[in-house]
Amino acid sequence: MTAPPLLFDRALHRRRLDRAASGYHHAGFLKARAAGDIVQRLEAIMRRFPTAVDLGARNGAFRAALAVSDAAEKIDLLIETDLSGRMLAGRTGPRLVADEERLPFAAESLDLAVSSLALHWTNDLVGALVQVRRALKPDGLFIGAFLGGATLTELRQCLLEAETELAGGAGLRVSPFADGFDGAGLLQRAGFALPVSDVDRVTVRYSHPLSLLRDLRAMGETNVLFERPRGPLTRRLLFRALELYGQRFAEPDGKVTASFEIITVTGWAPHDSQQRPLKPGSAKARLADALRTTEHSAGEKPG
């Protein structure tokens, strides 16, 4: 079997997260939003989850959201993991430095796995989800959130145009993200049952595009593509990109907008008790009878 291509430099990503750890709380608003949404979904599920793991916990946003929710009573043990040891430092509770591409959990050892805004940095997202599914007990639950394709579209456009204008060509300086419509399909490919996916589109306003760049650095969400341009982001290129950003995406009050797309997926490890679609032709009642209408042939020939 051919190994998936290496898109992201995971070692560089770890160093970026280490650098961001001390100030992450200043720019953790997207993480908090995604984690809070996951907790709200747990509130609606009438189940207990004795052993749970938070993959890519960063500053503990999921644990914090859980602490002020009734869903906290549903979890006995929450293990926080992160690629960066510095992100986990200084907090209480079970913590584990772990790579989301190489999960250390035994098969069928977890009742619940969650992850907010970390899995989009894996080189093989389906492979990472397969590992999550294998670590879950039968009928175990996974809820994950990752950044989708419309994220930072404004910044991507301006950097590409500025570099093309100044250098005659451009490379990817903003990492690509998964398409929002792929969420349920990704879970199906990873072997999850009952997959559900939805998208939360968030618009953030900044006084200046430079403030957006500072937030991305503080989040540890800067470009770590292996095929990223090796040349530096020169002052001339940066200023031209920021100039284009202000021209195209400024609102009447002078502030600029930045788009983020959060894809949230929910899936269950397969179990015999779960609902399954009926086989074609196995219906015992006619739809026309239920609707009290007359059935008309669509022209198909009888088999």
Q: Indicate the pTM of the whole model.
A: 0.86
**Total number of domains in the chain:** 1
Residue 109 lies in a domain: yes
pLDDT on residue 28? 94
Examine residue 193 and state whether it is found in any structural domain, yes or no. Answer: yes
The boundaries of the domain holding residue 74 are 10-149+176-208+261-291
Residue 302 lies in a domain: no
**Is residue 157 domain-resident?**
no
Query: Residue 67's domain is classified under what CATH number?
Result: 3.40.50.150
pLDDT at 291: 72
Closest residue by Cα to residue 107 from 135, 80, 130 = 135
Is position 202 within any domain? Answer: yes
Residue 299 belongs to a domain = no
Q: How confident is the prediction along the chain (303 residues), in pLDDT tens digits per residue?
A: 566 678 899 999 999 999 999 999 999 999 999 999 999 999 999 999 999 999 999 999 999 999 999 999 999 999 999 999 999 999 999 999 999 999 999 999 999 999 999 999 999 999 999 999 999 999 999 999 999 989 999 999 999 999 888 877 666 667 667 666 678 889 999 999 999 999 999 999 999 999 999 999 999 999 888 876 666 678 898 999 999 999 999 999 999 999 999 999 999 999 888 877 556 665 666 666 767 777 666 665 555
Is position 169 within any domain? no
Q: What is the pLDDT of residue 272?
A: 85
Q: Does residue 90 fall inside a structural domain?
A: yes
